[in-house]
A = this chain, B = another copy of it.
């Protein structure tokens, strides 16, 4: 028997596989055995009600998808009353993803979702901060540190900071999140992108730009996860383009403690379970008793060269 459990950012998970925010909902209970997941992560909830973006909200591109769903939200009160209870019967830690457009608003919603039944709070700091010209909090270390400090004071629950891959300085942002009190990092959200329908000459999304997710981004996010692992002491949760156990293994090997699976669930509703099974098989075949031992086993010999690496030219 392989021990798949991991300690991750203040909570213990039965296995390192969980859904990515916005790609999971209780509706999935009709289709797969939710009890088998390492954690539940909810769609980001905002303080007030929001409609989300105009349609078309998604578009497929080679090896992935664009989305500009935005954050349609019924507001935090309805979320606490209606959504949290949906998961009460499961013996799986519930991680609530939150966002707000000011640091104080963020702290406030964080306080409000810190209720029984919630195991950790994932803070989606990849969203725009209206006090910084609409730049996402996690674009810069300074704004990351500031918002994380406020969030840290707002809750005793474990805090997971979800970073944006759109920044040019992810290691520094990761360090700022750690310094600000994050218990784990989720690396990362979607990459800003777009596509055009050449027949109509219109952007394929109603909002023109949107977030790229799916296999296309995996090599980029894997690199960022690896950079973060080397920059901080807290656990890093890899998230980007995981379709199979092999993809999840890459994240664990470069040093992630756990992974989130997003877009894959849209293509294969059972993708998370297939990943869990595949991780177990890999461990068994490779004589690994505890999956936690796999974390950070990237062969060391090439590391030094990469330390100085900045661009490829």
A residues sitting closer than 8 Å to B (CB atoms) are 22, 44, 53-54, 61-64, 66-71, 99, 124, 126-128, 133-136, 139-140, 164, 166-169, 189-196, 198, 200-203, 206-212, 215-220, 222-223, 226, 241, 246, 249-250, 253-254, 282, 297-299, 301-303, 305-306, 308-313
Chain B residues whose C-beta falls within 8 Å of the C-beta of A68 in the assembled complex:
312
Contact call B201/A222, Cβ cutoff below 8 A:
no
Chain B: minimal CB distance from A3 (Å)? 19
Q: What is the CA–CA distance of A169 and B136 in the complex, to the nearest angstrom?
A: 12
Q: What is the CA–CA distance of A126 and B313 in the complex, to the nearest angstrom?
A: 6
Chain B: minimal CB distance from A186 (Å)? 13
Contact call A310/B128, Cβ cutoff below 8 A:
yes
Q: What is the CA–CA distance of A99 and B311 in the complex, to the nearest angstrom?
A: 12
A-B contact pairs, 27 of them (CB 8 A): A53-B305, A61-B219, A64-B219, A67-B312, A70-B313, A126-B313, A127-B311, A128-B313, A135-B310, A135-B311, A136-B310, A139-B310, A168-B168, A192-B223, A192-B311, A193-B220, A196-B250, A198-B253, A198-B282, A202-B299, A203-B298, A208-B302, A208-B305, A208-B306, A209-B223, A209-B306, A216-B219
Contact call B298/A201, Cβ cutoff below 8 A:
yes
Q: What is the CA–CA distance of A54 and B216 in the complex, to the nearest angstrom?
A: 25
Chain B residues whose C-beta falls within 8 Å of the C-beta of A99 in the assembled complex:
313
Identical copies of this chain, number: 2
Chain B: minimal CB distance from A42 (Å)? 13
Chain B residues whose C-beta falls within 8 Å of the C-beta of A67 in the assembled complex:
312
Contact call A198/B309, Cβ cutoff below 8 A:
no
Given contacts A198-B246, A198-B250, A212-B220, contact A190 B70 (CB under 8 A): no
Chain B residues whose C-beta falls within 8 Å of the C-beta of A61 in the assembled complex:
218-219
Q: What is the CA–CA distance of A22 and B312 in the complex, to the nearest angstrom?
A: 11
Chain B residues whose C-beta falls within 8 Å of the C-beta of A223 in the assembled complex:
192-194, 209
Cβ 8 A contact of A194, one of B64, B128, B192, B226: B226
Cβ 8 A contact of A168, one of B128, B139, B195, B226: B139
Contact call A312/B198, Cβ cutoff below 8 A:
no
